Structure 1
Amino acid sequence: MDTTVADPLVGRVLDGRYRIESRIARGGMATVYVARDIRLDRTVAIKVMHAGLAADDEFVRRFIGEAKAAAALSNPNVVAVYDQGTDGEHVYLVMEYVRGRTLRDLLTARGRLGPREALEVMQPVLAALGAAHRAGLVHRDVKPENVLITEDGQAKVADFGLARAETASGMTKTGMIIGTVGYLAPEQVLSGSADVRSDVYAAGTMLFELVTGELPHQGDTPLAVAYKHVNETVPPPSTLVPGLPHRLDALVTRATARQPADRPQDANAMLAEVAEVHAGLPRDIDERMPQGGTAVMPAGMPPDRTRMFDARTAPTGAPPPPPRRTPADRAIGALTGRYVLIAIGAIAAVVLGWAVWYQTSGQYDRVPEQIIGMRVADARDQLEQGGLDVRVAEPVFNDRVRKGEVAISDPGPGARVTQGATVTLTPSKGRTPREVPDVTGKSEDEARRILQDKGFTPGEVSSAPSQSVAKGRVTRTSPAAGQKHSPDERVRIVLSSGMSMPSLLGRNGQEAENQLRGMGLDVKVEKRKRENSAPGSVIGQDPDPGTGVSSGDKVTLVVNERDCLFGGFFCNDGNRGDGEQIPVPNVMGQPIDQARKALRNSGFKVEIGSRVGNRVVGQNPIGGQAPRGSKVTIWG
């Protein structure tokens, strides 16, 4: 614990309520103190922002907003946020005071944890992150330093929302990311953006560190480590610690996938996978692996007294004291000695029986009855441990078996095979492909619901400009509507970021106005006189070309005035007011080339506006009548 002698806040009462008693730690963003809540007479922890950050109004605004969001979380594995306030130049956050130590302290003392124990630590951590993700909150700084272990072994996650506020303030000083660069997801390195899947990546990295004692990516500088996050895949933990189960390897690999869409989609999904892997591990796997030290059990799980001792009564890393022998123990030992010869005889009989069995039927084995539906890696392990050779065939679609599990075995389940025989495992590559539904024009929530009703899982959401779809609505999916796609593969959703203001300078003013009104925009036309510009043409527009606009937005066209005679019958732009009026074909939905041909055959000139697809999604004018030879604009 660092000194508090020179700290001016120690002894001060913030906001007339919180008396600062001592300093716990100082970081790059804030200093943490132990304080006394005078009003409620309880001990609390107070995080006081550094003066440089407190002077940044935008940062403070986001800090307060995130503090409110964190305070709304109700989960026993989240360090509770009690209050937030400002006292002069001090912006502070009042939190639950947790007596204990950090997961970093535990890892430093132990070196690494066994696979079963590591998953037991991860479960409350992921439960806390899952509560935040359901509330729309991203932690952004998941690491052992932010996991607190209470004196009774309960794990609590701290600092929700603070890293998010820090990132939002635009601060990128190297010193502020050195401590966390080892857990940064590739998207955080590349763009500074993060979502719930970034927390999943950090959690997967932390799990790797718990079972190996090392971070997966290391380098001489933070930049070198960040480069590896972007360009290198996290290796399976068993490459550093032989003997770790393949299912743990697969869990870490999936959680730390470089593409966010390939990871569990939030901490709740990862928690389910962690629980499944934990349930499938042998209960004694930690004892069979080389390790020792103090075990930590999450709250709500009774400690296993056969393999744990209290960190408060024994030095860290020391073996538990040997049990004291009682008179009853000595009596049992003496009695046991009388049966040593009998035991030896029994063992000899077992060995002889095994030898007879081996000569008659020991050369045979059976394919496990439950092999269908097992993870391929687990099935391979079990068969190879039984002395069988394993070959993995190309995956096939299967509606009854999940992706990555055994769909077919040859020989089949229960079949008798000789030692050394080959068993071929055919993995499932997911359910049989089906047509992706059309969700064009739907809101994101509606699109997700429709996809889920059809058995699909929505994937990554991105945005792109659209001239025909309102902002925030779905423009397309990937794969596209109507294409065949396995429900086990995610469907990407592309939302409209709004229409793009077209370039109208030099265009006929009436045509430009009609085009904008056809886009649902509120058009104001101003007329001005400009020499050297065609009469009636557009000489100005607001907003500029390429600007994003949405239906109902106000736009302005500036049109060059033209001189007309006889009440507008003849104008100096060469247009006549009494041209032959002919019907305008409606070509909406037709292929672009077919629509162009139909309009030309009807006596109109055709102009192609912006073009994204191959079919007409917009037309001006649409229907009605127009002068022969006049222009019809279509968009694709």
Structure 2
Amino acid sequence: MIGRLIDGRYLVRSRIARGGMATVYLATDQRLERRVAIKIMHGHLSDDSTFKNRFVQEARSAARLANPHVVSVFDQGQDSDMAYLVMEYLPGITLRELLAERGTLSAQQVVDIMDAVLTGLAAAHRAGIVHRDVKPENVLLADDGRIKISDFGLARAASANTATGQALLGTIAYLSPELVTRGIADTRSDIYALGIMMYEMLTGEQPYKGEQPMQIAYQHANDSVPRPSARNPEVPDELDDLVLWATERDPEQRPTNAGELLDRLHEIEGQLGFSVSTSTQSTMFLPPLPLPGGSDLTSVLASPGPAGTAVTTAPDDDASRLTVRTARRRRKGFALFLVVLLLAGLAGGTGWYFGSGPGSRVQVPNLAGAEPEAASARLAELGFEVADVQEYSFEVPEGLVTRTDPEPGTFIDKNGTVTLYVSQGRQPVSIGMLEGKTLAEVREFAEANRLTVNEPTEQYSGDVPRDVVLSVTDAEGKDFVKEAGSVLQGASLDVIVSVGGIPDVVGQGQSTARNDLESVGLDVADDNQQEFSDDFEKGQVIRVVFPEGPLRPGAAVTLVVSKGQDLVEVPDVVDMTIADAKAALEERGFVVDLQTVVPENLWGEDVFSIVSQDIEGGTSVKRGSTVTIAANL
């Protein structure tokens, strides 16, 4: 690209910087004979309409602004397959480079820079433009003391405060909470980024750090930015408050635009006794970098004010000026040569040390689930020392690698030690006698020891209270209610739990007995058994018939209900023969007591007749009663 003439007008001289979307070159505008910065989109992005639109947007946004603190855009166009943007060239450094060199800035320096940046950004906000990518890389500090804000490639109209689209744009360290959570940006989002940038200038570091971008984004969305004075006690309270105001998580609590924040900054300048800045003032506060040989051709003083100006010493005649410029270029070239040699030496030495020398670092592989012998061989190939440790594992089968220390993906020095943890299988769990334990206590114990309690079985027990376990058995049938033992983690336990006793319904009426039994979960048969009973009145429950085996809720039971006493009418057997009388009484279930002095077998039962009976015929008595009869002699 160096030496190329773009669009027949811009001759590329050298490269200034390279970014993710474009490279910036120093070029000469041959038509107007001036130096410009030309921003050329990367070739692989030239077919992407989104990036081309951002190029055009940057040109249009900057063109709407006429402010000494905004980098001017002169031209925009397309040369063959290259999209380009022509901007004002400002020799100098960025605020990022200044912070990298100095760490923290003084309160006066921060105020001077913020005054210029806010002035430029206020002009953008007044024009209805939201920058959306405010950060130190986009603040330019020119050699002549001018401070300008650049890169409006992400800018949009302030009314277009909708989501950014496929992904959040801008640098994550400066994104406002509303951009992180909703993808919405307005002028207050720029204010938040300015507050983060001010914090960084005052403390030398950003307020939030993290290994992953999402960790930083989460902190922006959920945490409040701390006071800068907590890290740098020299920060004045006024600047502390200004940073906190600009970085409020709620956009409604921040300044509405850069102009409002600029007004407050001017008040602080007066409170701190600083010389009040104006939008056209050139802010010159940076001491120059020393030239090779230790001589400075130019001495730059503090910010120019009523009492001082920049003082420059220079030769008077043309020949002397030419000699000075030639010497300066020679010294600069020699210094650059030395820097290149030094960097090359450092790069080579560093590459050897960390690539193949003693400082080389190797990534620990993921060996979980591997055979220990194979895992040890793999680590030995990578140059590690190997140590073996046995441990129980719930997931990894016995005899396989469970994990490594350090973790997989960690880079450690060659010859470092990696510990292989090998599974002994699942850990045994000791179980004491569980007699008298409730179901809740058994479940709590099981959960704490990675055991599984199967759906419990309920059973009636008149001796064990409700919810107390009757038995807890493992797969082998061992009952831990009766004895202690152990199982392996992950084992399943079968539990039988008491639901209390069964109510005694003997002697109750049929309806009451049914309700009591059904209230504890038993199923009472509709067809009852009935029996005669001398002890229970008719309709009372004599007993309950239960199924064989353990009795559990839902079991079917049958009620045995009394029919009362079994009464039979005594027949009239007077005048009957002995045989007929006995037959009639015994047929109805009576016991016959015959009273006669003549033996029955002497004359026969059909010879003599009955002359009396002790229970009168027609009387009803209990079946099986004894009836005494007398025969005629």
TM-score by length of 2: 0.43
Structure with higher RCO (Cα < 8 A, 6+ apart)? 1
TM-score by length of 1: 0.43
* Rg comparison, structure with higher value: 2
